[in-house]
Amino acid sequence: MKETIAPDHAEAVKEFISQSEDSDLQFTNMKVHFLKGGVKNVKDKHLLIYRYQLV
């Protein structure tokens, strides 16, 4: 999956992603196993790229 994020949130998102890799995350209506992710700077845009698996 890919999501555009605001440049001023990039560092906070990177930190959250690094702490969440290979863990289960509970959302309101589903639970997912977060596999991996990262923030890439592509053509002056910050993209959150991640993989997850429904549990």
Alpha-carbon gap, residue 12 to 16, rounded angstroms? 6
pTM of the model: 0.78
pLDDT tens per residue, range 28-55: 999 999 999 999 998 889 999 999 999 9
Give 26's pLDDT tier (boundaries 50, 70, 90): very high
pLDDT of residue 47: 96
Alpha-carbon gap, residue 10 to 16, rounded angstroms? 10
pLDDT of residue 44: 86
| 3-state class (DSSP) for residue 30 | coil
- What average pLDDT score do residues 10-38 get? 94
Please state the domain count of the chain: 1
**Domain range holding 13?**
2-54
